[in-house]
Structure 1
Amino acid sequence: MAVEKKLMSKKKPTFPVNEMLNAYLKNYNRNTKISIFYDDLLRFQGSVVVYDKDDEDTLWVRTYYSEFDREEIDRSLKKVYTILHSDGNDSTIPFLNVDAIDYCTFGNSKPFRIKIRNILNDNFTYFYVKKADASRIYGLELEHILSPHNMNFLVHKDTLIEEHIAGIPGDDFIRDILPNCTELEKSQIAKEFVKFKERCLIRLLGDMRSYNYVITPTHDFDHIIYKIRAIDFDQQSFEGNLKVYNLQFMKENFKMIEMVGKKLQNDSILQYKIEERSFMAKRMLNTPRRSARLIKCMKADTISFPENVALLKKQLIKYVGDVKFRECNNMGEILETILAFVKRNYIDISNNELF
């Protein structure tokens, strides 16, 4: 805990969604009308603790509502599900059931997790209802633009709806599965961790402790491929300490970092970092208007404290040796400078025909 206190500053506030960001969300079909808000779900009358299969407290509680409230809430949540996963058509609503509404007592965002089941075949999925926070929304959009993963979410006024990201929680994977992986699998996971670490650092996604990302195994012929993806975007471009954006300084990731050191040589680590930066540059070049418009919104927004901006500028100048960070006035301008550096270097490398 002492390490975390040094890395993380005071609790991050919720930043409101301004008109410019709201216009961006409307333009890209992220903004839609829904009939339920985060505050509506806070009206629960009681709750019980949710335990995992080992009878450990999950830090989630299952909520209960009055009969009148529950009927209205269930109907609204089913409608939200159809909008998030389909075209919002009401024809499928009779076949849906809200199995559970869980509330998280841990963390910054205090989300609600909704379990929706199709009564025809018992298939179920989850989505989350959270307070809309501008920095979190920037994090979701940056993940959509810069990573290999598409993000599905909706915003309406002060409420954010997020699709569930499937995978094995990183802390569970490191504790229960990683020790039993083959040496070849460990090498592949180490490669993916280096790429994930680089992606988070470049796009300033902070606090990627092991329980804030998931690992997804995919069977490919006679072996398994592991991918790593973030599931928590609360700490997008907020902290001033550069180490918060670097996974190797999170004690929960030490076993992964140790494995990278054992399985990969420095030349391989550098190669994977370059590959990830090149991928991010390609993504930006393929979506120039969207990425530029998002950065423009960030530059006109406030998603951190002035002292955090000043500290991050100072540390980035020391880290990369680029004095252009001195001219940055906010987190949006800092991120723009970093991404411009990534694109510029990718174009230079491409012109030299090194790839």
Structure 2
Amino acid sequence: MSEKLMSKKKPAYPVSKKLDDYLEHYSRKIEIPIFYEDLLRFSGSVVVYDSDDKDTLWVRVYYSEYDRIEIDISLKKVYSILHSDGSDSIFPFLNVDAVDFCTFGNSQPFRIKVRNILNDNFTYFYVKKTDASRIYGLELEHMLSPYNLNFLVYKDTLIEEHIAGIPGDVFIKDILPNCTESEKSQLAKEFVKFNERCMIRLLGDMRSYNYVIVPTHDFDHVVYKIRAIDFDQQCYEGKLKVYRPQFFKENYLMVMLVKEKLQRNSVDQYKIEERSIVAKRILSSGNRIKRLMAISRVDHISNPENIAALSQHIHELTGDISFKNCTSMGEVLSLALDFVRRNYEDVSMKQILENKYRQ
């Protein structure tokens, strides 16, 4: 199913001058000492296997001695900019344990493992090629999801912090079967809300390996949340189903969980809850999201065929004729968010008037 939904390959779109100015204004654009292209100078690689000796689709790369010294210092500097004050005072306590390269997917990222040698704590960050679609996706995730995101952009290089969690495909295969019935119900609820959130902000391709499950221990039980980790397919495709995780075969067991554990009324309730939460975040984001949407409306981040198709699909779903005249994917996205916000405000105002009438 998922192969038919997606285009063969999405192109990377350059960052426009207006988007570049936006990134600088909100401290996302910071000069870094290394570029994506620099990391491609590796002299060899070995396959990275998981604990079950299966190919992870990542390879561990290595560099010549001269390049390695320079790259190590530069990656420590990037870590300091991303997670600290940007100074080199922490360099003696850091070690770059691994540089991994992934040939799977569009972005072909580098994954950098940095360890604190004093206590062996480690973290990851990613070095990718800049893509305007991904930047819009990261910014919208930062503003409209429950999670803040830390990332940096400089010229053709994008630095992203690691999002911790259990990969969705691993969780579905190894952990879901052993969950309690209560945990399964809670997971079903979270999948409904995640599905709704992705559709509202037009984040596509949420197959199980593009999101993580984050467990949190709360008193005597575990609460699970679902977080997107790949933002490459932000408002590019023309099929509305691409923006609804429920239509990917990799999520079949999660969809079945929803059918088994939730009644129709509960599903509708959770959708309304998520739309209301997103609407509140749109309102609280104020000028920042308004500025981002104004930039997206004149940006080129998809092709005319996809724009026309998605506009038609959303028009059929909402009945809003505004979608029939869209000329850019940013306009489709902006109208979609505005539709959610207006509906929330209309319902809120109706509730206020009803309460006054009762008084």
TM-score (structure 1 length as normaliser): 0.98
Q: Residue 94 of structure 1: which of 92, 95, 111 is its match?
A: 92
Q: Is the 8 A contact 2:296 2:330 kept in 1?
A: yes
The alpha-carbon deviation at position 323 of structure 1 amounts to 1.5
Instruction: Give the letter for the 2:312 counterpart.
Output: K
Which residue of structure 1 lines up, in the alignment, with residue 333 of structure 2?
A: 335
Residue 231 in structure 1 maps to residue 229 in structure 2: yes
CA distance in 1, matches of 2:338, 2:192: 21
Deviation by residue 1:141-192 (Cα, 9 ceiling, x = unmatched): 0000100000000000000000000000000000000111111111111111
Percent of paired sites with the same residue: 69
Deviation by residue 1:110-129 (Cα, 9 ceiling, x = unmatched): 00000000001010000000
Residue 247 in structure 1 maps to residue 245 in structure 2: yes
Which residue of structure 2 lines up, in the alignment, with residue 289 of structure 1?
A: 287
Q: Residue 114 of structure 1: which of 112, 115, 121 is its match?
A: 112
Which moves more between the two structures, 314-323 or 157-166?
314-323
Which residue of structure 1 lines up, in the alignment, with residue 196 of structure 2?
A: 198
What is the number of residues matched between the two proteins? 353
Instruction: Give the letter for the 1:182 counterpart.
Output: T
The alpha-carbon deviation at position 353 of structure 1 amounts to 2.5
Residue 345 in structure 1 maps to residue 343 in structure 2: yes
Q: Secondary structure at the match of 2:76?
A: helix
The alpha-carbon deviation at position 349 of structure 1 amounts to 1.5
Which residue of structure 2 lines up, in the alignment, with residue 177 of structure 1?
A: 175
The alpha-carbon deviation at position 6 of structure 1 amounts to 1.7
Q: Residue 72 of structure 2: which of 59, 71, 74 is its match?
A: 74
Deviation by residue 1:228-281 (Cα, 9 ceiling, x = unmatched): 000000000000011111111100001000000110111111111111111111
Q: Residue 132 of structure 1: which of 130, 133, 142 is its match?
A: 130
The alpha-carbon deviation at position 301 of structure 1 amounts to 0.6
CA distance in 2, matches of 1:34, 1:5: 37
CA distance in 2, matches of 1:352, 1:222: 40
Which residue of structure 2 lines up, in the alignment, with residue 147 of structure 1?
A: 145
CA distance in 2, matches of 1:87, 1:292: 30
Task: Give structure 2 stretches of 5+ with no counterpart.
Answer: none
The alpha-carbon deviation at position 30 of structure 1 amounts to 0.4
Deviation by residue 1:177-227 (Cα, 9 ceiling, x = unmatched): 011111111111111110000000010000000000000000000010000
Q: Secondary structure at the match of 1:14?
A: coil
Deviation by residue 1:278-324 (Cα, 9 ceiling, x = unmatched): 11111111111001011111111100011110111111122222221
Instruction: Give the letter for the 2:331 counterpart.
Output: E
CA distance in 1, matches of 2:285, 2:27: 16
Which moves more between the two structures, 227-236 or 323-332?
323-332
Q: Residue 316 of structure 1: which of 285, 309, 314 is its match?
A: 314
Q: Secondary structure at the match of 2:90?
A: helix
Q: List structure 1 runs of 4+ shifted beyond 6 angstroms.
A: none
Instruction: Give the letter for the 2:276 counterpart.
Output: S
Q: Secondary structure at the match of 2:212?
A: strand
Which residue of structure 1 lines up, in the alignment, with residue 3 of structure 2?
A: 5
Q: Secondary structure at the match of 2:227?
A: strand
The alpha-carbon deviation at position 352 of structure 1 amounts to 2.4
CA distance in 2, matches of 1:33, 1:296: 25
